[in-house]
Amino acid sequence: MNIKKKISLKVKQIMSILNIPKFYKPIIISSKDKLLIKYQINGILNCAKLLNIYSFYLSIKIANKINMYKISNKIEIYKPGFINIYFNKKWLSKKILSLFSLSRIGIKKKKTSNIIIDYSSPNIAKEMHVGHLRSTIIGDATFKILKFLGFNVIKVNHIGDWGYQFGLLLSYYFKNNDKFKKIDLKNLEYFYKKSNLIYKKNKKLSKYLNYCLLQLYKKKKKYKNIWKKIINITINYNQKIYKKLNVSLNKKDIVGESFYHKYLSQIVLDLKKKKIAKFIKGNLVIKLKEFINRNGNTMGIVIKKKNGIFLYSTIDIACIKYRYETLNAQKIIYYIDNRQKQYLKQIFKIVYKAKYIKNKIKLEHHYFGMILDNKGKPFKTREGKNIKLKHLIKKSIEKSKNIILNKKINIKKKKINFLSSILGVGAIKYSDLSKNRINNYIFNWNNIFSFEGNTSFYIQYAYTRISSIFKRTNYNYNYFSSKKVILKNIDELNIAIKILQFEENIIKASKLGMPNIICNYLYDLTVLFSFFYSKYSILYTNSNIKQINRLQISLLIAKTLKIGLNMLGIETVTLM
């Protein structure tokens, strides 16, 4: 049920009847008036001003034609031109009851279209660190949200399995293979850093580095075998991290940079033929007049160096072309941090200019900010090193375990470990997902594990409370669908309206690629339940009708919280 859409369509119809041009779009918002949730129609003032009509008069004309008597019991007009819509109790009661017999609590699947989400994308030969967290979990939450809505979503892990770092590793390996007694991720990362320092100090060695890279590009067996081994070690390690984080990515979703190498020569020839790319000082460059540097000069992107080596830009161009032509993508979403904003704008401009995709195909960069420490600096160890994701996850699970143990709940060790893992991982994920992705945020362990405020622990605790209530009853789910819902007080009405607002919040989150919208919704719903729980006795009441009504409301809250958290990639628990 999308109340906002229903009201918006109705107002648009009325505006059409009143001969108001289509480009005047009503603004429908949800707000509270005297503690009761209502919907407000805004935008009438601007519309009236441009049409040279008295705004209050226009709002009266619109309000008089809103035929929503089943939904609304009252429509009020306020000067200078606002319309408030209040809900009919009987209509709300019927809608809430219908949710018991509807799958997915009444949220219908949309028409399918192919959407590709490019996220996580870690580098090879390195352990995943805290810098990979946001792309991985925001991208995965968006995947789950879009999948829930019925879209055909293709998730892609565009790993960095090609390029300069392999020149470093291969050249170092073949010069020092006696030191490579065991090739594992820890050793690879150490040798990568060591080789990088050596090659920076000795530029003469770069010729051998480029030689090794070209041998790999030519698919020479001994170079390719070591390359494959390095990749497989990294992929297997990363899959353990994804599993721990409850992230959907698997090996089938990996399409690395190397996959597109076979298309690069043709891309370069085509861009030259179309006179989009030209040689500058031996390098093949695309100049884009839309992008100007600080000195007022046109910026360019190199797609092939004079030594014959292709760059990431060439791969990214080929990647978009492939995704459109082969995977039939109608939209491609990238979850890459905001430092790549200008670069991606340039790549998008090139593929449109080269007509590799149609103008109607959407390319979206859902950029995100950084995770900071309490001093406002990038979140790192005391030694200034990147925090490994495995260490962050481990610490969060340990903190969750201590919280459970301090509560002195009589449960077995195996159960404690199980709960700790779900709660610890969920706490990290929710803490990140609840922030507006475009902003930097400060990582704070105390806030993450708080039972107050917009945290996973606060929402999980409400869910466990409802679960414990139903453990003390003999009612089953089907019983509630046969009993009439009677909403009487303002608190029950607000909860009913909030439950019905779930769909519009999911849709908004999916369009903007912002899971924090769902987090904020779940938090608001939990706040309403907490107040309801503290004010009214659910099980112990002098009226059986009241008890059933309150259990019905509580059950729908729990169901909504579970669906919402699962959409974010967070499992629920019934004990904590």
What pLDDT, in 10s, does the model give residues 296-334? 888 889 999 888 778 899 999 999 999 999 999 999 999
The 10 Å Cβ neighbour count of residue 345 is: 15
**Which domains does the chain possess?**
3-87 (3.30.1360.70), 164-253 (no CATH)
CA distance 431 to 344: 27
With cut-offs at 50, 70 and 90, classify the pLDDT of residue 179. low
Predicted confidence at residue 180, as pLDDT, reads 64
DSSP string, 157-184: B--B-SSHHHHHHHHHHHHSTTT-SS--
Instruction: Provide φ and ψ at 168, rounded to 5°.
Output: -60, -55
pLDDT at 375 over 90: no
DSSP secondary structure letter of residue 108: P
- Residue whose pair of structure tokens reads 């699947």 in the numeric block: 109
- Output the CA torsion 491→495→500→503 (10° steps): 140
CA distance 397 to 392: 9
Give 529's pLDDT tier (boundaries 50, 70, 90). very high
Residue at token pair 């909030």:
498
Burial 190-209 (b: 16+ CB within 10 A, else e): ebbeebeeebeeeeebeebb
pLDDT number for residue 432: 96
Strand (E) or helix (H) holding 333:
strand 331-334
DSSP-assigned letter for residue 309: -
Q: What is the pLDDT of residues 397-455, one digit of tens each?
A: 999 999 988 887 788 889 999 999 999 999 999 999 999 999 999 999 999 999 999 99
pLDDT digits (tens, 9 = 90+) for 281-298: 999 999 998 988 888 888
Listed residue (431, 426, 510) closest to 142, CA to CA: 510
Chain CA centroid to CA 82, Å = 34
Calculate the average pLDDT of the chain.
89
The C-alpha atoms of residue 272 and residue 286 are separated, in whole angstroms, by: 9
Position 384 scores a pLDDT of: 64
> Residue 515: is the preceding peptide bond cis (ω within 30°)?
no
Integer CA distances (angstroms), 303 to 161, 271, 346, 451, 575, in order: 18, 10, 12, 52, 55
